[in-house]
């Protein structure tokens, strides 16, 4: 019978705190940049200019149909050789995960906008708005409301995906956990605590998404 | 008539895929005139109406409303977004499904055109919007959201929203077809008052009695062609064309049933 000893974990508390800080900062960066990429790509997907649509679809499919771990490794090892630029692990990680998330955000944005009845943009155009004004004033505000729960779900997945950057030696929560595990010879306790920390951060967020979904369902 | 017509459509044609919806339609509407477009479903009357503010872009022909005119066809360049927006701002449209903006209050719905398109100052836009809501009898609903209104109230807000652009022409696309029968009257009342004020109006409708009462002219379309065009009472009471007679007789039967 294994003898659990969580006392040892306490001495590594600052490693966990630092690691969690890096994980959260990473998440913030890739969610913000990913949303930006997703919004641009999602709007491009609905453009009347066909090459923009193809470009957007190509981007989405490339990032949806390759494993995110492969993308991370490719951005860190292959892209610098191709482009001839040095890239830190953090830069490569942020780039790969933002673009990966952006591909999924893009589909959410496209779907959200497409779900708004065509009568809404027709009414806006009939008032004399340009298509851009109609999008900004009438369609997007309504679509964003519907997009919030799926965007939050995807962002939760993004937070979990940050654990993959540990393979590039970015000192996130999992990487620090690995360091502590090697140092203490107590992987069971350490990795259990790492998992619990992820859960404690994410569980309230999923509850929030559930509540938002229920509220939106009532509002419709 | 010496004055040039407010609306002039010439040789207008439109095809959706294999389906030819309008075949070289000519139509003139004088300033202050009320024209009702009637005809069986699929006759092209809604498409014709939507061509008047270019929500549907014709394949060929010319459309002129007021001073602004566009030509369509293989040689003609399609109008740009700014030109289209300016053209549409001069016509008000009321839709069958109301199409109010659900994320805005009734007042904000009516203010949206003046604020975003006409770049009016907010206080002036609000004054205008409130006076129009008073005109359609909905002053007390200004702060409500559209979801709280009945269909008839929604459609009256939609009329106020279109009027807020102070358009030269109002287009009504089956404005009462989605309403419960007891709510049709309040919307027709607002439309009748507008007509009495001298607004130029083109109305696609199934309300034959209303068309007879309020319209100056009735235009009967079938299969994308204008088959009969004349004074409202004459077309409805004693149509010349057999097709018009057949359409109207079907209608009378429906009414009596």
> What's the confidence (pLDDT) of residue B257?
43
CATH number of the domain that B161 lies in? 3.40.50.300
Q: What does the pLDDT look like over B121-177, one tens digit per residue? A: 999 999 999 999 999 999 999 999 999 999 999 999 999 999 999 999 999 999 999
Cβ neighbours of A130 in B, within 8 Å: 81-82, 85
Of B88, B41, B80, B82, the C-alpha closest to B63 is B88
pTM above 0.90, yes or no: no
Pick the residue from chain A with its C-alpha nearest to B165: A127
Facing A123 at nearest CB: one of B86, B99, B117: B99
User: Quick check: helix, strand or coil at residue B74?
Assistant: coil
Cβ neighbours of A123 in B, within 8 Å: 93, 95, 99-101, 158, 161
> Does some domain include residue B44?
yes
CB of B227 within 8 A of CB of B220? yes
Q: What does the pLDDT look like over A129-151, one tens digit per residue? A: 999 999 999 999 999 888 999 99
| Inter-chain touch A130–B81, beta carbons under 8 Å | yes
B97 or B252, greater pLDDT: B97
Sheet strands side by side (includes B19-29): B19-29, B7-16, B60-65, B68-72
Q: Are strands B60-65 and B34-38 parallel, antiparallel or unpaired?
A: unpaired
- The domain segmentation of chain A, as residue ranges, is 6-219
Instruction: Work out the minimum CA distance from A174 to partner chain B, whole angstroms.
Output: 43
Q: From CA A133, how far away is CA A127, in angstroms rounded? A: 11
> Does some domain include residue B2?
no
> Does some domain include residue B54?
yes
Cβ neighbours of B101 in A, within 8 Å: 120, 123-124, 138, 142
User: Quick check: helix, strand or coil at residue B30?
Assistant: coil
> What's the confidence (pLDDT) of residue B256?
47
Domain A6-219, CATH class in plain words? mainly alpha
> What's the confidence (pLDDT) of residue B2?
53
Cβ neighbours of A124 in B, within 8 Å: 101
Instruction: Work out the minimum CA distance from B124 to partner chain A, whole angstroms.
Output: 18
Q: What does the pLDDT look like over B116-128, one tens digit per residue? A: 999 999 999 999 9
> Does some domain include residue B164?
yes
Q: What does the pLDDT look like over B230-244, one tens digit per residue? A: 999 999 999 999 999
Q: What does the pLDDT look like over A81-131, one tens digit per residue? A: 888 888 899 999 999 999 999 999 999 999 999 999 999 999 999 999 999
| Inter-chain touch A127–B95, beta carbons under 8 Å | no
Q: From CA A67, how far away is CA B90, in angstroms rounded? A: 53
Q: If you count DSSP H runs as helices and E runs as strands, how many of each does chain B have, helices first?
A: 9, 10
**Number of CB atoms found within 10 A of residue B118's CB:** 16
Domain boundaries, position B180: 7-254
């Amino acid at each position: 019978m294994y003898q659990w000893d969580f006392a040892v974990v306490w001495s590594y508390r600052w490693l966990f705190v630092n690691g969690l800080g890096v994980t959260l900062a990473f998440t913030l960066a890739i969610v913000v940049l990913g949303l930006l990429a997703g919004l641009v790509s999602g709007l491009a997907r609905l453009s009347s200019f066909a090459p923009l649509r193809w470009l957007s679809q190509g981007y989405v499919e490339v990032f949806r149909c390759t494993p995110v771990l492969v993308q991370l490794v490719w951005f860190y090892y292959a892209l610098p050789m191709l482009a001839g630029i040095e890239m830190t692990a953090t830069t490569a990680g942020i780039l790969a995960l933002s673009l990966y998330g952006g591909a999924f955000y893009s589909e959410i944005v496209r779907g959200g906008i497409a779900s708004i009845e065509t009568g809404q943009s027709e009414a806006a155009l009939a008032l004399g708005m340009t298509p851009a004004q109609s999008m900004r004033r009438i369609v997007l505000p309504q679509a964003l409301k519907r997009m919030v729960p799926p965007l939050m779900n995807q962002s939760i997945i993004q937070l979990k995906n940050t654990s993959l950057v540990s393979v590039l030696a970015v000192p996130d929560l999992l990487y620090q956990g690995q360091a502590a595990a090697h140092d203490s010879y107590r992987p069971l306790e350490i990795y259990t605590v790492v998992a619990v920390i992820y859960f404690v951060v994410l569980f309230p967020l999923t509850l929030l998404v559930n509540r938002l979904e229920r509220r939106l369902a009532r509002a419709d | 008539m010496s004055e040039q017509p407010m609306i002039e459509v010439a040789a207008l044609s439109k095809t959706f895929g294999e389906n030819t919806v309008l075949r070289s339609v000519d139509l003139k509407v004088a300033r202050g005139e009320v024209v009702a477009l009637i005809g069986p479903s699929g006759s092209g009357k809604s498409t014709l109406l939507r061509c008047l503010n270019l929500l549907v872009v014709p394949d060929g022909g010319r459309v002129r409303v007021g001073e602004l005119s566009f030509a369509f066809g293989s040689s003609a360049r399609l109008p740009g977004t700014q030109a289209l927006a300016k053209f549409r701002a001069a016509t008000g449209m009321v839709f069958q499904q109301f199409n109010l903006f659900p994320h805005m209050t009734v007042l904000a719905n009516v203010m949206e055109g003046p604020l975003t398109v006409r770049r009016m100052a907010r206080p002036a836009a609000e004054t205008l919007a409130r006076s129009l809501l008073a005109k359609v009898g909905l002053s007390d609903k200004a702060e409500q959201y559209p979801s709280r209104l009945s269909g008839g109230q929604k459609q009256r807000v939609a009329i106020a929203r279109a009027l807020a652009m102070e358009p030269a022409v109002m287009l009504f696309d089956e404005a009462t077809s989605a309403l419960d029968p007891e709510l049709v009257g309040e919307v027709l009342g607002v439309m009748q008052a507008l007509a009495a004020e001298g607004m130029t109006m083109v109305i696609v409708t199934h309300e034959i009695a209303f068309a007879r009462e309020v319209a100056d002219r009735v235009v009967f379309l079938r299969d994308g062609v204008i088959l009969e065009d004349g004074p409202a009472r004459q077309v409805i009471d004693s149509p010349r064309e057999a097709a018009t007679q057949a359409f109207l007789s079907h209608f009378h039967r429906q009414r009596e049933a």
